[in-house]
Amino acid sequence: MSSSSEVEMKAGHPPAVKAGGMRVARTKTSSESKDKPEMTKEEIEEFGTSPPKADKQVMVSGALAKEDKAFPPEAVKHYHEKPLPTKECRPMQMKHTINQPK
């Protein structure tokens, strides 16, 4: 049998935890991804502290243009907003007729 530190892997991950015959959800811990290596003085001098800003260029009608000039924020906001109705539309009242013999 394997020790408690060695977990038998099934399909690349540990098997489901069961308590009372039912599966119990576990939270995934990703402490390795949170650790970010710190830069040395030489790396800071070489690369800097902030990432470089890239000028985004997009193709508009076959010509390259900067994104902020081709699509200004006001135009994008206007495009995404839903227009409001100018008049209130009420459902039509139907006449309820019952056909009965005379």
> Percent of the chain having pLDDT more than 90?
0
pLDDT digits (tens, 9 = 90+) for 31-84: 555 566 788 888 888 887 777 666 677 777 777 777 777 788 898 898 898 888
| pLDDT-derived band at 13, boundaries 50, 70, 90 | confident
Parallel, antiparallel, or unpaired: how do β-strands 57-60 and 63-66 relate? antiparallel
**For the whole model, what pTM was predicted?**
0.28
Q: Torsions phi, psi of 25, nearest 5?
A: -75, 140
